[in-house]
Structure 1
Amino acid sequence: MNVQHLRLFVRLAATHNISAAGAELGLSPAVASAHINKLEEGLGVRLVHRTTRKVSLTEEGMAFLPHAEEVLAQIDAAKASVGVGNDSPSGTLRVAAPASFGRSHLVPQLKSFLAKYPDIKLDFRLSDSMIDMVEGGFDIAIRNAQLKDSTLIAKKLAVDNRILCASPEYLARFGEPKTPDDLLKHECIHLIGLEHWEFNTPDGLKNIKVSGSFRTDNGEAIRDAAAFGLGITISSIWNCYQQIASGELVQVLKDYPLASDTAIWAVYPSSRLLAPKVRAFIDYFAESFAGKPYWEN
């Protein structure tokens, strides 16, 4: 099985375009198409559906993709272990990350990351929706939720402490809650599907089902809505630390911390050998966020 054919197939799965995938590898559209044909002939199955505008993976292609990625990752890692190939990690690295965290804390550092690893190209997908890494062809996913897929490996990058906060304007109009039960009388802004807020209290865990006039699926939106006086919300400190520092938001219910054990994780498919580009990205941001992250100061 030709390694270049595998690399082309993996990039084709990401770009859904034979010409674009071929261009990344220095191949003409005709040569790229021929390579895919040879890969399919060798396997004896059709891997892609072809149309005039784009291509998509067949069911067999989707099943084959994670295995192709695994083979390439092991080849790259094996070469790096004996000093073969480039002196630095290289290739296109596909990363999925939450929109808010990605924009606020990953994108600002990409200039220095790419300066350190000039042979890496980055393909970022920023979305607050949970993404299937294998189906989407991603090398790494940044997540702040517990890992449920046992086929994936997670590396902790940073703490993700969360607090309740509101604008001084809102608190001046409606008063400040003194206990979690007081939230039942307040406008509460929450992420869709996360209307149950759990607190540590002297009497044990307290679960409150909150409600309000506004909810959304974006962390920056609930932070901004709270800053504009729409109500009380939960926000990660990494998301609201600037607004807390400026006084646009103030923390409430400090004596009743949220019952959560959240963190920022780098998640990647299980593999005995980790591709150098993946290891470079994880190590870089693990070092950047090591200890007490800057947003916690």
Structure 2
Amino acid sequence: MNIEHLKLFVRLAATNNISQAGAELGLSPAVSSAHISKLENSLGVRLVHRSTRKVSLTEEGQAFLPHAEEVLSSVDAARAAVGAGKASPSGTLRVTAPASFGRMHLVPALKGFQEKYPDLSIDLRLTDTIIDMVEGGFDIAIRDSALKDSSLIARNLAPDRRIICASPEYLEKHGAPQTPDDLYQHNCVHLVGLDSWTFDTPNGHKVIKAQGKLRTDHGEAVRDACASGMGITLCATWIVYEHLKRGEIVPVLTDYPLVSDAAIWAVYPSSRLLAPKVRAFIDYFAEYYGNPPYWDQDLENKDL
């Protein structure tokens, strides 16, 4: 049984398109079709239904798929084990991440990562849309929201600390809120889908529905609007830490911390064996971010 044929079959199962699956592996449509036929002949069963536009797995193909995925994971692990662990991860690592976090905290670290693993190529896609990892053929997704897909495994890379903040200009003009309820008297800038802010108060949790004249779907836009004096906002420290250092944004309501279990997660498809390239990425970035992460280290001695 040919390993390359198995790789093509697994990608075909995700894309339902022989040409697309082959193109991802550098194969022509004719060669891709021939590879699938050879795999079927070696097994003595038909694995896919072919049509003019797409293919789908037969019942036998569906049964064979998890075994093919397990074989490929085993091969990756076996190759890494050769030479008592001296083998370096190789191939292409496909990663997707939120646009702002990826630009600020993935891209600057990639040079060091690739210097450590020179045989690895990175295919990085930055998008704020939650995509289907399997269908997209991604090895890792960086996410800052709770894991909802039980077929995936998540590794905590770093905490995702949130604070309420404003610019000195805004506070000088409008005053600082003293309690969460005071926010109803202020203009709040908020991220779409994140307008309910929960505070820990002496009387229990208090939920404030943020109200204001600006909301947007981009975290950096929220931060920049806050820095320009447009209102009070909720921000993750990883996106605002440099502005806090420079004093362009300051924390407010520090006596009422936000209630949040948010974190930065590395998510990957469930498997009994973790591919060496995935493990290398997760271990590298967990160490790179640190504990506490570098964006929080200068804030530890401040009243946040």
1:97-151 CA distance string (max 9 Å, x none):
1111111001111011111111111111212222222232221111122223332
Name the CA distance, whole Å, in 2 between partners of 1:138 and 1:64.
21
Question: CA separation of 1:213/1:47 partners in 2, compared to 1, >3 Å: closer, same or farther?
Answer: farther
Name the CA distance, whole Å, in 1 between partners of 2:249 and 2:66.
45
Matched letter for residue 46 of structure 2: G
Matched letter for residue 128 of structure 1: D
Correspondence for 1:211: 211
Listed as ranges, the gaps of 5+ residues in structure 2 are: 299-304
Correspondence for 1:130: 130
Is the 2:188–2:233 contact (alpha carbons within 8 Å) kept by the matching residues of 1? yes
Count of aligned pairs: 290
Name the CA distance, whole Å, in 2 between partners of 1:118 and 1:109.
14
Matched letter for residue 250 of structure 1: V
Question: CA separation of 1:102/1:10 partners in 2, compared to 1, >3 Å: closer, same or farther?
Answer: farther
Correspondence for 1:21: 24
Is the counterpart of residue 200 in structure 1 residue 203 in structure 2?
no
Name the CA distance, whole Å, in 1 between partners of 2:23 and 2:85.
24
Is the counterpart of residue 160 in structure 1 residue 160 in structure 2?
yes
Matched letter for residue 259 of structure 2: A
Correspondence for 2:234: 234
* Secondary structure in 1 matching 2:48: coil
Q: Percent identity?
A: 62
Name the CA distance, whole Å, in 2 between partners of 1:234 and 1:40.
55
Correspondence for 1:44: 46
Question: CA separation of 1:253/1:32 partners in 2, compared to 1, >3 Å: closer, same or farther?
Answer: same
Aligned pairs for 1:205-284 within 5 A: 205-284=205-284
Matched letter for residue 24 of structure 2: A
Q: Give, in angstroms, the shift of residue 95 of structure 1.
A: 1.1
Name the CA distance, whole Å, in 1 between partners of 2:233 and 2:71.
45
Question: CA separation of 1:158/1:5 partners in 2, compared to 1, >3 Å: closer, same or farther?
Answer: same
Q: Give, in angstroms, the shift of residue 9 of structure 1.
A: 4.3
Deviates more, 1:91-100 or 1:13-22: 13-22
Name the CA distance, whole Å, in 2 between partners of 1:74 and 1:213.
54
The alignment's TM-score, normalised by the length of structure 1, stands at 0.86
Matched letter for residue 115 of structure 2: A
Question: CA separation of 1:173/1:45 partners in 2, compared to 1, >3 Å: closer, same or farther?
Answer: same
Q: Give, in angstroms, the shift of residue 243 of structure 1.
A: 0.9
* Secondary structure in 2 matching 1:248: coil
Question: CA separation of 1:210/1:62 partners in 2, compared to 1, >3 Å: closer, same or farther?
Answer: farther
Name the CA distance, whole Å, in 2 between partners of 1:30 and 1:85.
38
Correspondence for 2:3: 3
Deviates more, 1:38-47 or 1:150-159: 38-47
Matched letter for residue 183 of structure 1: L
The alignment's TM-score, normalised by the length of structure 2, stands at 0.84
Deviates more, 1:42-51 or 1:171-180: 42-51
Name the CA distance, whole Å, in 2 between partners of 1:244 and 1:64.
54
Question: CA separation of 1:140/1:224 partners in 2, compared to 1, >3 Å: closer, same or farther?
Answer: same
* Secondary structure in 2 matching 1:88: coil
Is the 1:143–1:266 contact (alpha carbons within 8 Å) kept by the matching residues of 2? yes
Matched letter for residue 147 of structure 1: L
Name the CA distance, whole Å, in 2 between partners of 1:38 and 1:294.
52
Is the 1:22–1:32 contact (alpha carbons within 8 Å) kept by the matching residues of 2? no
Q: Give, in angstroms, the shift of residue 2 of structure 1.
A: 2.6
